[in-house]
Every structure is written in structure tokens, then in C-alpha cells.
Amino acid sequence: MVAQLHDPWEGEEPDPPIRQERRRPSTDIELKPPAEVEELHPPAQAEGGFLKKFGGPAFWVFADQAVCSLSTFALAILVGRSVGEEAFGAFSIAFLVFTFLVGLSRSTVTDPMVVIYAKEDAEAQAAAVPKAIGLATLLGIAGALPTFLTGLFLGTSSVIGASLISLALVLPGLLQQDAWRFVFFMTGRPRPVAINDTIRTVLMFALVIWLHRNSVINSATMILVWGASAYIASALGAVQARKPAVLRGCLHWLGGHWKLSAQFGADFTISQGSFNGTNVALGPISSLATVGALNASRSLLGPLSMLFGGSTAMVLPAMSARSHRTLIGLACVVSGGLSAVAAAWVFCLMMIPRSWGVALLDRNWAGAEATIPATGWAVIMVGVAVGPNLALKAREESARLLRITLVQAPLMALLGLSGAWIGGAVGAATGFAIAQSIGAALTWKVFVDVEREAVL
């Protein structure tokens, strides 16, 4: 069975051969294509047109992104209002570590899974899913060990050390929960993702309220609450899929597509490692307050990052299933839509009255306000690059993506650190923005060249 995602850019029905091959999987994992999901909503299906699209998978995808974006935004605001600049900087560093590890999991595990198995039948998908989830969990355990040891080395009395220890305890759950999201998107079942993320959000903020009432809110406890809710959502995903993660054989499964995973992983590691390493180096080069200021503005832009990540989960399977066609039009729609939304969001943030900003981030608003323009431009450029980046992944052009990164990553470090040395947080944000602009332009050039080669 070929899992189909609703394609918001094309109104045409799935190809007849795919419909004819549809059958209920003989395995015990329930992997439903969008057609079976839509059968659970007969009123929306009967109406057709807008109601059919609104009631179908696309609705659940966007509903999930709304929940994730708003919850992440609210959590960052709560931390920003509840702790000082140094504690917020420590939370920022812990979050950067998580961002790197979850991105590494996506690039080496879930992205290759989607690119390869979105075109396969349900039996192949069912065999791959438990091992992919197991591999993501194993990566979380592997990442937790050095994180925990680093936290112990820095000391539990240190705000950074306590935050890293808390992160280490919840990393396996965070990475497993993220992997389940990609599994359900790949198999055309976004509704369980939206339900699980909603339950996770409700539980997380219930615990946050309890922490607030007991006056125990700090960077470490907030990370623990955030991660504990991920464990619950991950368990729900396993129950809904009716098959838990399998650690045995997951490395052998990785070996089956090692080249693709290795190149995707190297691309991400160099890119995000350069970015995160530069941010960590900003502390001694400039100050921990500089790190906090940059993360304050990024927190306000956090919903956009969640939107970009959610778009990846939705668009990559669609592109992979259509990799035999030209992808220029779809890439333009994705990049145009995401960059337009990003530009509107950044404009709104720049227009916020100072009193509103102080109400949102309290002492951290001054740093955020100064860095929003440059950080916002960098995020817009990320949106511009999403379309061609995903299209190159769908075409398995991992080597070309790696070459792009080998140009952009050194620029990110050089311009970011130089900017921090010259102009503090604003200078660093400006350097990052310039590097992202160059990277976006280069990504589009390489993608267009690939499409021309495909036509010829």
C-alpha cells in the first residue's frame, strides 16, 4: 500500500494504479492512508471541495502545527518571564542541545525513512516503523550520556549544569515522540499526532501551573516538565500504532540505507553543529546575556520554526511520492507560503509596543527587541530555502545538499562570531542573517540545476 498525504497544491485524485493496490495491511500495526482516515468523517467527504479538504488530513496537520507552535511559544514566554537573564541563557543552551539532537535524529532516521518508505507498500512500512522508532530512542540514549556527564562536571549547583542534567533525563522520550510524529505523517494519519500533541500540551501546562503555585519554577524543572509530557505522548503513539519501538535490529535497518542517512546526517551535523557551536561560543566571546538575548528573539519566532518543521513532515512524503515529476512548482509554493507567513509574523513582532514586550518577556524583552529584525530576516531566509531543500531530499540529492552546507556552515560561524565581537547580540544576529541569505540563494541555484538536468 502506498501511503498518500493530502496534497494541498493539486486538486487531482490519486493515480488509479495506487487506488487499485489498496488493501488492509496484514500486519498488526495500523497504518491507514488518508482515504481510510477520511472515511471516519462522512459529512466532510460528502460535501466535497473545501469541506472535504478541511475535514481531511490537511486540517489535522495544520491543527497539530497550531498546537505545537502555540505551546512552544507559551512555554518560552513563561520561562522568559519567570527567570533571570542568566537562567534564560542556560535554558537556551539546553534547548540548543536538544535542537541539535532532534535534528540529527530526523536527518539520520526519520527523513531517510520518509524518503524511502513513502513510496513503499504498507507491509514494508510496518516492518520499518518499529526499528526506526527504536533507532531514534537509541540515539536519545546515546545523546543523553554525554549531556548528563557534562551537567555533572559543571555541577548541580550551576544553573547550566542542572539544566543539562534535566535534559539528559528526558532526551530519549523527546526523540522518540518526535519520531512517532513523522511515522504518522508518512502513513497519512495526522489525526493521532494532533490528538497526542494536544494531550501533551494540556498535561505540560497543568504541571507548569503546579510548579508556579509551589514556587519551584526554574530552568531545570521546566525542562523536566517539558520532557515528561513527551514521554506520555510517545507512549500514546506506540499504543495507537499497536507496535512499540524495537531496539534489536535497528542498527541493521540503518545499514540498509546507510549512505543516504550518513550524508543527510553529515549535512545536518555540519550545519546545525556550526550554528549551535557558534551560539555556545558566544558566551565566552561576548556574554551569557548575549546568548539569552538571541534566544529571546528566537523564542518569539519559535512558532515559525515549528511551522517549518511541520511543513517538512507533511511536504517531504508528498514530494518523495512524486519524485518522478518536476518539483519546481511545489517548491515555489512551499517556500513562498512559508516565507510570506514568516515575514508577516516578523512585521507584527517589530510593531509590538514596548509595554507588550515587557509583559511577554519581562527583563528579557530589551535583548529580544534589539535582535528581532536581524533574527527575523534569518528565519525568513530559512523559509525561502525550505522548498528546494526538501525537493533535493526527495530526489535523494544528499551529496549536493552536503556541498551547500560546506559553504554555508563556515560563513555562519565566521560572520556570527565576528558580529558578536563587534556588535554584541545585534552583531551576531546580523552575521547569522547574512549567512542564511547566502545559503538560501545557493540552495535554490543547486535545485534549479538539478531540475534542468532531470528535464534533459
State whether 167 and 125 are in the same domain.
Answer: yes
State whether 225 and 300 are in the same domain.
Answer: no
Q: Would you say residue 420 has pLDDT above 60?
A: yes
Which tops the pLDDT comparison, 377 or 74? 377
State whether 245 and 292 are in the same domain.
Answer: no
Residue 56: the pLDDT is 61
State whether 297 and 433 are in the same domain.
Answer: yes
State whether 278 and 385 are in the same domain.
Answer: yes
Rg for the chain, CA atoms, rounded = 21
Judge whether 218 lies within some domain. Answer: yes
Mean pLDDT for the chain overall: 81
Q: What secondary structure, in 3-state letters, does 379-426 show?
A: HHHHHHHHHHHHHHHHCCCHHHHHHHHHHHHHHHHHHHHHHHHHHHHH
Contacts of residue 427, defined as CB under 8 A and 6 or more positions apart, other chains included, come to 418, 419, 420, 421
Contacts of residue 437, defined as CB under 8 A and 6 or more positions apart, other chains included, come to 377, 378, 381
Distance of alpha carbon 14 from alpha carbon 268, whole angstroms: 33
State whether 252 and 268 are in the same domain.
Answer: no
The C-alpha cell that represents 37 in the structure block = 482516515
Judge whether 18 lies within some domain. Answer: no
The domain boundary residue, chosen from 256, 283, 314: 256
The domain boundary residue, chosen from 256, 281, 316: 256
Contacts of residue 401, defined as CB under 8 A and 6 or more positions apart, other chains included, come to 263, 264, 267, 389, 392, 393
Judge whether 76 lies within some domain. Answer: yes
The C-alpha cell that represents 325 in the structure block = 515529476
Burial of 235 (0-12, 13-18, 19+ CB in 10 A): middle
State whether 366 and 277 are in the same domain.
Answer: yes
State whether 313 and 431 are in the same domain.
Answer: yes
Q: Would you say residue 318 has pLDDT above 60?
A: yes
Give the residue among 115, 109, 163 at the shortest CA–CA distance from 321: 115
State whether 271 and 251 are in the same domain.
Answer: no
State whether 157 and 180 are in the same domain.
Answer: yes
The domain boundary residue, chosen from 209, 236, 256: 256
Residue 36: the pLDDT is 35
Residue 65: the pLDDT is 75
| Domain, as residue range, for 56 | 1-13+24-256
Judge whether 19 lies within some domain. Answer: no
State whether 289 and 149 are in the same domain.
Answer: no
Tell me the CA distances in angstroms from 113 to 141, 166, 313, 445, one per residue in order. Answer: 20, 30, 11, 26
Residue 4: the pLDDT is 38
Tell me the three state secondary structure of residue 21.
Answer: coil
Mean pLDDT, rounded, for 385-401: 91
The C-alpha cell that represents 345 in the structure block = 509574523
State whether 219 and 297 are in the same domain.
Answer: no
Contact indicator for 251, 386 with CB cutoff of 8 Å: no
Judge whether 174 lies within some domain. Answer: yes
Residue 58: the pLDDT is 67
Number of domains in the chain: 2
Band of the pLDDT at 455, cuts 50, 70, 90? low
DSSP letter string over 157-226?
TSHHHHHHHHHHHHHHHHHHHHHHHHHHHHTT-HHHHHHHHHHHHHHHHHHHHHHHHTT--SHHHHHHHH
Residue 374: the pLDDT is 94
Q: Which pTM was predicted?
A: 0.73
